Amino acid sequence: MENQKKNQWISPEEAYIYVGQQKLRRGYTTGSCAAAAAQAAARVLFGEEEPKTVELTVPKGLTLCIPVHSVQKYEGQAQASVCKDSGDDPDVTDHIEVVVSIQPNPTPGITIRGGQGVGRVTKPGLEMPVGEAAINKTPRRMIREQIELVQQEHPEWEGVGLLVTVSIP
């Protein structure tokens, strides 16, 4: 049962990868966790029931069913979290909780910022400019796409500016 709660891929053949002769269970990235948490938070903010899982298609075209760890709604904002599962090739971020909060913002569009536990770019040479939250281009795009997906299902929220904060407490 514990394994069923972890890393649930839509199709069973996608759940594993072979490295040489070794069969390894796939995990998901910190960016995928942030995008899934953003989708869950948006759903709650826009008036839906608290999701237990969210479906997320990753840039490689695979679709995940990611368990939502927690969801909270406060006045004017919602927050959701996903606990990272690094699969059979774990890294230091395995089992961390990735938290995303979303609230309306007077600035148009979707503004993504880093909160507690998210580093800042300190030297040139990375995708993001110095001083910006260390959330790379692909995870930013995934977060934005998930929120826009939910906005399309709720026309009353289309065009509303949103402030998205990604934290790793």
Looking up tokens 């899982």 gives: 53
Quote the pLDDT of residue 15.
74
Give me the domain span that covers residue 61: 2-167
Quote the pLDDT of residue 14.
65
User: Domain of 162: which CATH number?
Assistant: 3.30.2110.10
Q: What is the per-residue pLDDT across 112-155, written as a single tens digit (0 to 9) for each?
A: 999 999 999 999 887 888 989 989 999 999 999 999 999 999 99
What pTM was computed for the model? 0.88
First to last CA, the chain: 27
Distances (CA, A) of 26 to 41, 72, 145: 25, 29, 23
Q: Domains in the chain: how many in total?
A: 1
DSSP 19-65: ETTEEEE----HHHHHHHHHHHHHHHHTTPPPPSEEEEE-TTS-EEE
Asked if residues 56 and 67 have their Cβ atoms less than 8 Å apart, the reply is: no
